[in-house]
Every structure is written in structure tokens, then in C-alpha cells.
Amino acid sequence: MLVPLTREKFEQLIPLIATGPQYKYYWGKFSAFLQRLLISVVAGAVVLLVKFLLGDDLSPIIFLLGLVTGLYWLWGPVFHASLRNAKCRRYKYSGFFRGRILDLWITEELIGKQETVSRKGDLVIVENREKWINLEVGDDTEFTAQLKTPLRVAHKAIARGQVAEMVVMSNRPDLSSIQEITDIYIPSRELWVSDYPYLRRDFFPQVSDRLRVRDDQNEPPPRRRRKARNYEL
């Protein structure tokens, strides 16, 4: 099932300004906070140096610039999340997709390498690996999409055959070619499968319920085939 969404509804589901969960995602771990704080300190020092060199001629502008750069540690997550949202909002058309989980499997992904020195003085490369869950979803139009995201404890509740819902994006009015997808929602478990929370999780279930009622009252749309892609959330 694929139902086109109005532009207004799509922009409600993926707002331009970061939501709370999106801000939390980009806030990151303590190391990420320290990195932003270091950038703020360095940028603030540069602004002070410029003020010292130019004197008081541009004091208001320099003060404003110093305030913005000094608070980068605070507003940085909003900026990065909003940029990511903007990449989705550049697509002209979107649709609500409801299908089923066709398959799922677990893989180990290389997320980084560290170089250390052993007691004997030998260089040792340690690979950091993380378990990821891979999902294949599809519907009766033969459309399928594969995505993967870091494995979480809650993912134990996922099973083949469960209903899966998401938003798809395209630059074609008939949505015959899907360029991007969002996080997946499994209504039977009230479970989200994603790394980055694209959708407003307080609003998407309401859209899902309304479309489910409408779908029960109307004939299914004509079958048409859409191109499949792989996605990483």
C-alpha cells in the first residue's frame, strides 16, 4: 500500500527544525560534546583575537559572532539535524508506505579501527565491530527495500510478516521510483527501527491510524511496480 502525502503533511512529519529526539541523537556521547566544546573555545579565541586586532570599530558584530561561536556546543546538534532533515525535504513528493517485513538478519559491521602498540613494540590494529539488523520490507506491488541499522535489545520483538510502515520520497509525482525512505514503524509492537529518528514519533502513528481506517473503507489502488533500493539508516 502506498498513499501519496500532501506537502503540508510531509513537512509536519519531517520538520525543518530539529525535534527533541533528533537533537538528542546529534548531542551524542560525552566525547562528541567535548569535541563541540573544543570548537567553541577555539572559535571564541579567534573572535577575541580579531577584536584585539580591529579594536572597537566592529564591536557589536564581533560580540554577536563571539556569542554564536561560543555557544556552538549547544546549538550544533540543532544545526546538523536540521541539515539532515533538509536533505529529505528537498524531494518534491512523498508517500505513506505500508507493507510487511519479508526477511531479517544480523550482520557485523566495521565501525572503526584503532592502532595500539603491544608490549613487544609491535603495531596492533584493533577493529571495532558492531552488530546491525538488516530488514527487507515489501508489499503486493513487488516493491522491496532493504535497510540496516545498529542492533538494539528492542529489536528482538521483530518478526517476519509483521506490518511495517514508513514514509518514502521521490521526485516523480506517481512515486514510481523511490529515492529515500525514513525510519520504520511496526504498529503491532509500537516499535521504531532506525538509527536517526526522521519522523515525528508523536504524529506519525496518528497519520497511520487515519490511513488505516480510510484503506479499510476503499478499494485498493491499482498495482504498479516501483524500483527497489538498499538503504542505511
The CB-based long-range contact list for 196-199 (8 Å cut-off, 24+ gap) reads 196/22, 196/25, 196/84, 196/233, 197/19, 197/21, 197/22, 197/25, 198/14, 198/85, 198/88, 198/167, 199/13, 199/14, 199/166, 199/167
- Which of 38, 66, 89 is at the close of a domain? 89
The domain boundary, picked from 37, 72, 89, lies at 89
Same domain (yes/no): 103, 70? no
Residues 64, 113 within the same domain: no
pLDDT of 93? 95
In this structure, the answer to whether residues 66 and 165 fall within a common structural domain is: no
Note whether 31 and 125 are same-domain residues: no
- Same domain membership, residue 197 and residue 113: yes
What is the pLDDT, as a whole number, of residue 186? 95
The reply to whether 166 and 208 lie within a common domain is: yes
pLDDT of res. 233 = 52
Q: Which pLDDT belongs to residue 222?
A: 45
pLDDT digits (tens, 9 = 90+) for 171-220: 999 998 899 999 999 999 999 999 899 999 999 999 888 887 666 555 55
**44 plus 100 within the same structural domain:** no
Across the range 54-70, mean pLDDT stands at 80
pLDDT digits (tens, 9 = 90+) for 93-119: 999 999 999 999 999 988 877 777 777
Identify whether residues 50 and 158 lie together within a single domain.
Answer: no
- Domain end (from 65, 89, 113): 89
What is the SS3 assignment for 72?
helix
Same domain, 118 and 224: yes
Range of the domain at 33: 24-89
Burial of 161 (0-12, 13-18, 19+ CB in 10 A): exposed
> Do 68 and 150 belong together in one domain?
no
**Are 68 and 41 in the same domain?**
yes
Are 171 and 68 part of one and the same domain? no
pTM (two decimals): 0.81
163: closest CA among 197, 140, 195, 134? 140
Q: Please give the tally of structural domains in the chain.
A: 2
Q: Give the pLDDT mean for 13-32.
A: 93
Q: What is the pLDDT of residues 125-179, one digit of tens each?
A: 887 889 999 999 999 888 899 889 999 999 999 999 999 999 999 999 999 889 9
